[in-house]
Each structure stands twice: as structure tokens, then as C-alpha cells.
Amino acid sequence: LCGDLKMQMPFPFSLLCLQVIKCKAAVVWEANKPFSIEDVEVAPPKEHEVRVKIVATGICRSDDHVITGALVMPFPIILGHEAAGVVESVGQGVTAVKPGDKVIPLFVPQCGVCPNCLNTKSNLCSKTDLGTSGGLMADGTTRFTCKGKAIHHFLGTSTFTEYTVLHESAVAKIDSAAPLEKVCLIGCGFSTGYGAALQTAKVEPGSTCAVFGLGGVGLSVIMGCKAAEASRIIAVDINSDKFAKAKELGATDCINPKDFNKPIHEVLTEMTGGGVDYSFEVIGRTDTMTAALACCQYNYGVSVIVGVPPAAQKITFDPMLLFSGRSWKGSVFGGWKSKDAVPKLVADYMKKKFVLDPLITHTLPFTKINEGFDLLRTGK
């Protein structure tokens, strides 16, 4: 209807359709405080922006890192970055999507014109809010207000709200038949882990892998290692309750560091006769990052940091770990160029090339978001 009206009316289209939306959002007013379900105002999208109705959103450890201060962002803020929804309206100049399209928000955008987007080796668009702690749209303002106060955005996505506004470079149009409550995981957790194995590490058939941390992202790393035909995939976690799911998704061995009296890197080195070919740290702790590096084969092993490193912490390690030939890499969003890759990953899911259901432990109504985070923090 809006499209038809736009064709018929000579005066500005925004006067007809693009109004402020009042809806519910989960606002974090200050650090170490629970989410507060609030009535917020969501402004219309400006030029090259898109307003999206969020249908499903996942809970990620990175969201919790903001609450605890491990990932520094300004407050008050609307968190959330792993989601799927439907375009409600678009600002001037938007051509990639239209109202009614199913989309996945992209916390790593793809502008297509910056040096990183143009480089085949890079996926971290220079327009990303990751690491800048900005919390604002490109024009330096926010699209959210609550109780007369401006509310910050998170990673350019902010999906813990019924409606959000994103730059058009931060949305990917997907298959209209895709189940949004499943493919929302492709917005972060699944893609991050799966791509860390396939895109960043480039795991090879017959290789050995160790995965530290068996949350949703760690399990997705296991799925990526299996898809790459690794011969041995060793899952490492201090919560043995996670081992059954890890084996279901492809782990060949599961070990709990608490069961040993020696450092876990020594255990893994002995298990594999000299260290694994590839290791992945999917927790976000400096001690496990160095353990993952040390458990790699000393000359050609590759270790990938997937978990978000804690703010204001440094790593101290023996430089001989790298001098002997190991490689240490980081991986954001699995190394995928987001706008290009996300629709293809959704298509692969629709073709049953991988599963997502095992990664979903609970489905909760939006108003129970604090209960969801309690489940995350207790390893459930």
C-alpha cells in the first residue's frame, strides 16, 4: 500500500508512512543491572537506513559482556545483535531491501566500498561499531528514546526491541520461506563458529582440532570442523553436561580440564602425539587463549581466537610458542563477508546442509529476557 501511495502522491512520502513507532524494548540503564522492559520510541529510518520488526533474537555472551563491563559500551543501551525480522520501512536511497522482506541484521556490516570490503582477505568492514564504543548511527545520533532520554545502539543492530533501525549495509535479505526463529542464529553464533573453522582456520580433511568452550559458538565450530572432514575433534569444557550435545554435532572426544592434574595444553599435546593441527578458543578468557595456542603443533599449528577478549586485560606468553612456527589468528563473524555470505548460509540451511535446532536450548517470550540471561550465565 505504501508503495502504491508513493507512486500516486506528489508530496514527500515520509509524511505518509514514516512515523515514530512506540514499542517494547529491553533497556539496560547501567552496568551490572538487569534488563528493564520499557516503552520506547523508534524514529523513522533516515537516508540509507532500514527499520525492521524483530521476530526472533538470540542471546549471546557478547551481550552479557557489555552488562559486566568486559566489553565497554555507553549506557543506557539496547543490546542484542543475533536476530531475524521483517523490513517495516526504508529511508531514502535504500534499494537493497523493501518493506515486507525477511532480513538478518549484520553486526559486521558490508558497505562494499571501504578498503576492507574491497580486500578479498578481509571481512571486518571499517563501518563496524565493534571496538569503537560509539553506540550511535552514522550521523552521530540515535533512533531510540525512552522517558525523554536518548538510548544507545549496540553494534549497529540493537535487536532486543520490537523494532530497530539499521544502516542498509547492516541488513541482509534472505529467503522468504526461511523460519526466522531458526535462522536468526546465522546472525551471529552459528556463522561465527562455523566460519572460524571453514573460513578463518581453513581446517583440512584428516586434521585434528581442539575446541575450547561448548556454548552455541563452540558447538558451531565443531560443526564446521566436521564439515571440513577433520578426523579428530576434541571438545574442551569445564561443564561436562555439554559433552552429549558436542558429540551429537561431531566431537570425537570430550575432556574436562578439572579431571586432570596437569595443564590442559599438556593433556591435549599428549593425546595427539605432539599437538593439534587447529585449536579454537571460544570462551573469551586470556588463560584459555594461551592454552589453546600451546596445544597446537609447535611448527605448523594454527590457533584461532573466537571468543571476545575481555577489556583492559593483557596476555603474557612465552614468545617461543610463536617463534617455533605456530600461527595465532583472530576471527570476527567467522571471517564471512556478511552481506554476501548470510543469504548463502540461509540457503544452505534450507537445503539441509547443516542443522540449527540442536543449538536452541530454550524459547522464551521477550518479557523473560532476564531469565534467558540467567540460563546463559549458569551454563544452561
Query: Does the active-site annotation cover 60?
Result: yes
DSSP conformation letters of 249-281: TT-SEEE-GGG-SS-HHHHHHHHTTS-BSEEEE
Catalytic residue among 14, 23, 81, 265: 81
Is 122 exposed, middle or buried, given 0-12, 13-18 or 19+ CB atoms closer than 10 A?
Answer: middle
Query: Does the active-site annotation cover 240?
Result: no
Report which of 103, 135, 183, 181 is spatially closest to residue 27, judged by C-alpha positions: 135
List the 36-42 sheet strands across, edge first.
77-78, 21-28, 36-42, 144-146, 149-151
Query: Does the active-site annotation cover 62?
Result: yes
Per DSSP, what are the bridge partners of residue 85? 54, 103
Phi/psi of residue 220, nearest 5 degrees? -70, -30
Catalytic residue among 117, 125, 184, 188: 188
Query: Does the active-site annotation cover 48?
Result: no
E strands in the chain: 21-28, 36-42, 49-58, 77-78, 82-90, 102-105, 144-146, 149-151, 163-167, 171-173, 208-212, 232-236, 253-255, 278-281, 302-305, 327-330
Catalytic residue among 65, 152, 153, 167: 65
Query: Does the active-site annotation cover 17?
Result: no
Phi/psi of residue 269, nearest 5 degrees? -65, -40
Pairing of strands 49-58, 163-167: antiparallel
- Which sequence positions are flagged as catalytic? 60, 62, 65, 81, 188
